[in-house]
Structure 1
Amino acid sequence: MEKLFDTWSIEREIVLVKVLKHPRHKVFAAWLDPAALAQWYGPAGLNIESHEADIREGGQWRFDMVGIFEGQEQRFPNLMRFLKIVPDELIVVDYGTPDPDDPDRFYMTMTFDEQTDGKTVLTMRQLHPSRQRRQAVVGFGAVEYGLQTLDGLATWLDS
């Protein structure tokens, strides 16, 4: 794990930040509850279909993002492996297709910082395997989709 944090590079990283009006224990809990995660996670217009949800350090979440495009159902299979979880503070995952050897898998780190006003700053960092891969995912909308995901979390927390 230490080596992972030594390799952060601006050329490979995407950083998204959202201030949520909820205490961090509640924001953090939304990431660990498989039923909740399936309700809010992912870009707008896509639904989550979970196939396996073992959300704990050493566990994994295998799911499809499902949507209708040009009248056809499209499925986007995903595998998120939970590498480190520090309650109410940190989640580190590796993320990509269900192929555990997918060369495009990336690391994602979520930090949860509670402010004195009770709000939580959620910072989501993605570290991609190369500068080119980062550019490719930015090009297909990963920043906007990530922000939609964080907006979905905010909406779910408000409900």
Structure 2
Amino acid sequence: MKNLLLILFASTLFVFCKNEQPKTDEPEAKKAQPAVQQRPPGEHTEIGNFEYWHYIKNEGPKPLPSQVVFYNYQMRQGGRIVQTNFGGTPSGGIIPSEEDAKNDPQALVEGLRHMAVGDSMTIVFPVSDNPDSNYVYDIVLRAIHSR
């Protein structure tokens, strides 16, 4: 009889524990979301393997090869922010020649090449067939300087 009660108690615990959802300290809003759930508003362009959404598009000059660009960016993957410099010092880089860019295409450089100062853009860099693994860059071009 004691063994039967023990088995009955254990099976009851198993049934009730099986229906519980794991608890996390993370609020619902911060849980991972797909990198791009739907197409964002803005002008959509595909260049090579990259997808771009241009939100703010000014009429100013675009950076030329060998010019230095300064930009703020946020990198996301799977709905989580991986890296950002928004609120801090803008990153800087040199725009490579078109020949160098064709040999080694980079999502950020290709996006910056099509921006004027003040423009904002989202770039999707596919890593695999799974959209949650894509890198998503949100960038704002802050300045263009000649060297």
**Shorter-chain TM-score: which interval?**
under 0.3
Pick the structure with greater CA Rg: 2
TM-score (normalizing by structure 1) = 0.24
Question: Which has more helix, going by share of residues?
Answer: 1
TM-score (normalizing by structure 2) = 0.26
